Amino acid sequence: MPRLSPLSRCHMPFNDNHIEPSSVATVRRLPIEFTGSGSEYFRIWIVNLLLLLVTLGLYWPWAKVRRQRYFWGNTLVDGDPLGFHGDPKQMFKGWVLVGVLFVLYNWASSFSAVASLVAFVALAALWPALWRSSMAFRMGNTSWRGLRFRFVGSLRDAYLAHLPPFLVVLPMVLLTFAIPEDPEQAPPEWVMASFGGAFVLLVLTLPWLLWRMKAYQHRHYALGPLQTDFRASVGSFYLLAIKPFLLFAGVMGLIALYVVTSFGSADALGGLLGEMMWVLPVLVVGFWVLMFLGIGPWITTRLQNLVWTKTGNGQMRFISQLRFRDMLWMSIKNGLLIGITLGLYWPFAKVAMARLRLEAVHVRTVTDMQALLAAEHDRPAEAAGDAAGDFFGLDVGL
């Protein structure tokens, strides 16, 4: 096997249909299987739930480790399971850190508008580092065939990925200063217009913002000398968003038309409360069904296929072939059974969904993975925990 430089993206191009290896390379397919069962995970889930209740939530990091180890250990890539090696004590520190940050933010928000703005900026300044730390912790504590994965995204790139969302949301935060403190006093018209414009800007840029986040994540996964690249374009994210956006806008437009035509006059407003006693529940249920049975499964399917099929490099890449009808049926089935059992079917639903989504993915590679991993094991070991020890070595649950 040719020698690979550390963290090589292997600049051989790939497209939607195949890897483009050298003429003598053989493409191998590495299947992904999930062997977990609902009954096994139910026992873990019910114990975790009871201990969380007894400890008032303090058991959360240990519960998360048990859950991760079960799901990782039952995820087989080419017949070998993943391993999770996270330390719940480190995860507890991260959990406490994030909890303290949000308590301070809420306290500052109730203290004064200026304190709220300062807290928002401070939290936004720290958030990219925490986000990167969480991914480094999770990847650094995940292994396959004895070799740890790594997340190699830089802190600078994490801040660059988060800067546009911060700049888009900041005007909405600043506009809150112009809202009167008296709830009976209406905000000025220019404030409402500006707030509406900022919200429209946020909606229009959401696909771009999501693309930036996914690009940062999927360009920096590494195993041994291999590092992934991400070839999805911004336009593909906008194309993905068009259908659910048009469906959502159409439903909202019909609701608005119904309200205007039914209660457009002052005389008709008198019957609004009585009418809404039955209209509002119908609208809420209809909206939930639309999101749960239509938009949600469709976005999940298309986003998984887009993101993972565009992740890889010239020697190894992922292929996701999740089908919408399978996702739709699973969502309906899980939703009904969770409702009928008053939530007790939840662990079975999680296992079924994990199996559906994981087994829709496989890996194509022209690299002899066994030889690559053997070569990596022969290299001098790096300091333990370096990959997972970035920024306090904490998992903040992001």
Whether residue 120 is predicted with pLDDT greater than 70 in this model: the reply is: yes
Please state, in angstroms and rounded to a whole number, the distance separating the CA atoms of residues 138 and 222: 12
pLDDT value for 182: 61
Average pLDDT over all residues of the chain: 80
Cβ within 8 Å of residue 384, ≥6 positions away: none
Characterise 396 by phi-psi region: left (phi > 0), alpha (psi -120 to 50), beta (else): alpha
Residue with the larger pLDDT of the pair 171 and 352 = 352
**Are the CB atoms for 221 and 318 separated by under 8 Å?**
no
Whether residue 9 is predicted with pLDDT greater than 60 in this model: the reply is: no
**Which H or E element spans position 43?**
helix 38-54
Task: Pick the closest to residue 133 from 166, 95, 101, 102 (CA basis).
Answer: 95
Q: Which two tokens stand for residue 251?
A: 């439903």
Q: From start to end of the chain, where are the E strands? A: 28-34, 75-77, 80-84, 142-144, 147-151, 221-223, 226-227, 229-230, 311-312, 316-320, 361-365
**Are the CB atoms for 140 and 222 separated by under 8 Å?**
no
pLDDT value for 81: 95
Q: Report pLDDT digits (tens) over 358-392.
A: 999 999 998 777 777 776 665 654 433 333 334 44
**Which H or E element spans position 168?**
helix 155-175
Q: Report pLDDT digits (tens) over 122-133.
A: 888 888 888 898
Q: Report pLDDT digits (tens) over 196-248.
A: 888 888 888 899 999 999 999 999 999 888 899 999 999 999 999 888 777 77
Characterise 187 by phi-psi region: left (phi > 0), alpha (psi -120 to 50), beta (else): beta
pLDDT band at 311 (very low <50, low <70, confident <90, very high): very high
